[in-house]
A and B are shown apart, each in its own frame.
Chain A
Amino acid sequence: GAVVSQHPSWVICKSGTSVKIECRSLDFQATTMFWYRQFPKQSLMLMATSNEGSKATYEQGVEKDKFLINHASLTLSTLTVTSAHPEDSSFYICSASPPLRWNEQFFGPGTRLTVL
């Protein structure tokens, strides 16, 4: 149990376009999901906390207008990178916590974004 999926697993786009990444909890409902960014050979940096039915909470330094997060249902959160630029190229990972296991996060497999 507690499986989290992401789609797509990798995406290449042109500079200036927008890219949407989906994060789904497959076998549980998640009121809270998290989005992380990971640069090559570095650690994960929390970007935002996604709450079902309300606005996401962004970490300091993360542009909310550039990284749009929508948590439309208890099993789906989306991250849209708007007007992507090469510096947005990164590995984006989401996580979710099952009910009554709020102190555990289960991670998706990640999405590799390359902006040309």
Chain B
Amino acid sequence: AQSVTQLDSQVPVFEEAPVELRCNYSSSVSVYLFWYVQYPNQGLQLLLKYLSGSTLVKGINGFEAEFNKSQTSFHLRKPSVHISDTAEYFCAVSRNDYKLSFGAGTTVTVRA
């Protein structure tokens, strides 16, 4: 079984400040890791994914994440946020069965 823990339920941040969203997972086997963003009343959009290879993954909209196998973490970062980054962010993991398990989500609110 696998589970995903997003350590912060809400993250307020000022515009142009950096942000980090934390995600830890537990799994007895190798996993694939994802970060999705959800804007109000919309579906999910993939920000980035880690399948294999380099542990530093760059995604869309200036986001990046680092896979740390020893700490079983996949934290998401952005060096400078915009008002438009206000959204819900979900970390997810999957194994070879293709099924995604999601974390509880982190609400990011960017203030001017």
Q: Known: A43-B90, A104-B46. Contact between A110 and B41, CB under 8 A?
A: yes
Contact with A along B85-103 (1 / 0, CB 8 A): 0000010001000111111
Residue of chain A at shortest CB distance from B42? A109
> Which secondary structure dominates chain B's binding surface?
strand
Residue of chain A at shortest CB distance from B6? A43
Partner of B104, one of A43, A97, A103, A106: A43
Residues of B within 8 A of A6 (CB): 43
Residues of B within 8 A of A42 (CB): 104-105
Residues of B within 8 A of A46 (CB): 99-101
Residues of A within 8 A of B90 (CB): 43-44
B98 contacts A93, C-beta separation under 8 Å: no
| B63 is an interface residue with CB less than 8 A from chain A | no
Partner of B43, one of A41, A97, A103, A107: A107
What's the minimum C-beta distance from A95 to chain B, rounded to whole angstroms? Answer: 8
What's the minimum C-beta distance from B33 to chain A, rounded to whole angstroms? Answer: 10
Which A residues lie at the B interface, using CB under 8 A?
4, 6, 32, 34, 41-46, 49, 91, 93, 95, 97, 102-110, 112
Nearest first, the 6 A-B pairs at minimum CB distance are A107-B43, A107-B44, A109-B43, A43-B102, A110-B43, A44-B102
The contact sample of 11 A-B pairs, CB cut-off 8 A, is A4-B43, A6-B43, A43-B102, A43-B103, A43-B104, A43-B105, A46-B100, A93-B43, A102-B98, A107-B44, A110-B41
Which B residues lie at the A interface, using CB under 8 A?
32, 36, 41-46, 49, 51, 90, 94, 98-105
